[in-house]
Structure 1
Amino acid sequence: MEPRPPLVTVIVPNYNHARFLPLCLKAVQEQSYAPLEIVMVDDHSTDESVRIAESMGVTVIRTPVNSGPAVARNTGAGWASGEILFFVDSDVALAPDAVATGVALLRADPGLGAACGIEDPEPLIRSTRVEDYRSLQHHYWSIGSEGEVSFLWSAMFAIRAEVFAETGPFNPLLKHTEEVDYGHRLSRRHTVLITSAIHGRMGHDRELPALLRKLFHRGRTRVPLYASRRRFARGYETASRAWASVAALLAVAALPLPLVLGPVATAVPALLLAVSLACDAGMYRFVFSRRCPLFGLFFVGVHFLVNLVIIGGVAAGAVQWLVSTRFRRLYETPAPAALGARG
């Protein structure tokens, strides 16, 4: 006889994603895998999220205050009765076989701690060019990381409940880098895999300021983690991407040089700009091969700005690390036990 397939609990953390939620929950309900239970943990949304989920017959747990995705995921894990947990963010619509693929990968390799998916290059809902930019950029960076990594791509991933319990919950004090911290802890004992075999469409920020704020704080709050552990996350944050950001900052800083040294110094910022573009050349080729030249130029301009924001966030984090003991110890605080266990 075939062994009984394990029960999977799909956990959907949500905060004000009513725009994406019907597509997300419908995709979960239409998964090819069984047996399956679904819970949405609503992190004190102020939109129609709870009404939408309940109208679709999905179990909803509500947090008493808005506490961040770490608390929402921990709460869902505490409620779950599945042998395998599949976390999917509420702005992601999974491919129909995503859960089945995650389960198959975990069952085939006892040493695999988590199997993470990769979002498709098209956004879940297309309404602005910023969404197109982010979906292509993040897809390309994720595909380039495919294989074994030391971070956790938390938008969609499968993990055994026993491994989650062993690793401990997400740190609820972290708002922007809880998945990076979790990946570092998980990869000490288990393999973490990111694979395009698990995939789905993902929603993104519609406006550039919101995206830039998010990237700035992610860069800033990574500093104490990497400073204490003296290594970057393996797979996602490559040397070429780091140098692209550094060269972009230096190019802007060098703009006044012609005023001081004369026209001959114009070559300095131009050369630094060329270095920044060259570091991301593979991604630009990918974008121009898929989209029209006009959008390609828009993409290059936005990504140059993104590089500046990322390196600005890292610089701000470095200053904060130097002056704040509390900031330096951000990742040293033990995470408390998971919340919301079934009564």
Structure 2
Amino acid sequence: MTTVSLIVPCYNATKTLRLCLEAVLAQTRLPDEIVVVDDASTDGSAELAEELGCRVVRIPVNRGVSAARNTGADATTGDVIFYLDSDVALRPDAVANALAILDGDPDVGCVHGVYDTEPLIDDGPAEWYRILHAVHWRRRHLGEVNSVVFALAAIRRDVLLGAGRFDESLRDCEDVEYSSRLAVRSRIVLTDTVVGRHDDGSDLLPILGEQWRRALPLIPLALATNRRGAAKPEHANRPTGILACALALACLPLGLLSPALLAVPAALVAGFVLADVELVRFVHGRRGPAFTAYFMGVHLAVHVVLVTGLAVGSLRVLPGLRKRYA
């Protein structure tokens, strides 16, 4: 029988950890071991996990999620490792469904899931933006994929060991970098049968800050992926929308020549919205027209940060800075 080690990386997660672990303990297929890797929390997260009967592995100094995942793999023995973020509460059949996919096809080395359309804890409109965007783009790519979101993902231990350890120098985009190594070794499946409710960011400025941090390494990582011959990862955002946003920013100075020329970036912003009509319809169907307008405003702001971060991050591929991403 396939054994499962469920690993929860954790840092100051008392807001959601109980909900996360209670959902794990309610699985129709209980993991053979549940390990919470506490990354030097200061809020009692480790004690909460122990109170619920989980084994806790403590990291004395905060080192990030990559180190926590590596530590969890080292501390467990299951044939399959199920990585679960501490702010995700699984549906009761999530572990069983992940195992069914892995057991049903030995060539699939990793399976990961999607978020529910409702947040774990409702913290307002910015969080709804994040949740609905994440749900939509992942469901758009259901099936065999080239990348993994390790927030709720099951991977065979031998596949994990073959692809190597998570890069502990990365605190953002670590899943992107790891996927580039994993995809050349094993088939990866994204499924909507593995579902969890996620508690996401609820304040706009931190959300934009996270987008900035994640945008910076994307160009260097993409070039490194191409050098390794790995397949390209799936896009969270439409490339045409990113291009429209970039062109709109580039055309803004036209307004200095004549206010009438601001029609050019305005038209490009309209093109940005039309680049993903399915997303607009998806959001409208769940939250109505007023929220859809808010959603697209935030979506545009996120893209402005994304485009700017990509531009700044591209400087990292200049001579003398390439070695780190080789």
So what's the TM-score if we normalise by structure 1? 0.90
User: Which residue of the partner structure matches residue 294 of structure 2?
Assistant: 298
Matched, 1:116 2:112: yes
User: Which residue of the partner structure matches residue 271 of structure 1?
Assistant: 267
C-alpha contact (below 8 Å) 1:14/1:42 kept by paired residues = yes
C-alpha contact (below 8 Å) 2:27/2:93 kept by paired residues = yes
Alignment of 1:55-204 (within 5 A): 55-204=51-200
C-alpha contact (below 8 Å) 2:4/2:80 kept by paired residues = yes
User: Which residue of the partner structure matches residue 329 of structure 1?
Assistant: 323
1:318 corresponds, among 299, 302, 314, to: 314
**Worse overlay, 156-165 or 249-258:** 249-258
1:236 corresponds, among 223, 234, 237, to: 234
How far apart are residue 24 of structure 1 and its match? 0.4
So what's the TM-score if we normalise by structure 2? 0.94
C-alpha contact (below 8 Å) 1:183/1:192 kept by paired residues = no
Distance (whole Å) between structure 2 residues aligned to residue 36 and residue 96 of structure 1: 15
| Unaligned runs of at least 5 residues, structure 1 | 333-343
SS in 2 for 1:291: helix
C-alpha contact (below 8 Å) 2:24/2:30 kept by paired residues = no
Q: Give the number of the structure with larger relative contact order, counting CA–CA contacts within 8 Å between residues 6 or more apart.
A: 1
Count of matched residue positions in the alignment of Structure 1 and Structure 2: 324
Distance (whole Å) between structure 2 residues aligned to residue 47 and residue 233 of structure 1: 41
How far apart are residue 232 of structure 1 and its match? 8.7
| Unaligned runs of at least 5 residues, structure 2 | none
How far apart are residue 324 of structure 1 and its match? 4.9
Q: Render the CA deviation track for 1:47-106: whole Å, top value 9, x for unaligned.
A: 221121111111111112111111101111111121111110101001111111111111
SS in 2 for 1:118: strand
User: Which residue of the partner structure matches residue 252 of structure 1?
Assistant: 249
Distance (whole Å) between structure 2 residues aligned to residue 330 and residue 143 of structure 1: 33
Distance (whole Å) between structure 2 residues aligned to residue 160 and residue 232 of structure 1: 20
Distance (whole Å) between structure 1 residues aligned to residue 35 and residue 2 of structure 2: 17
Distance (whole Å) between structure 1 residues aligned to residue 225 and residue 156 of structure 2: 26
Give the letter aligned to residue 90 of structure 2.
Answer: L
SS in 2 for 1:113: strand
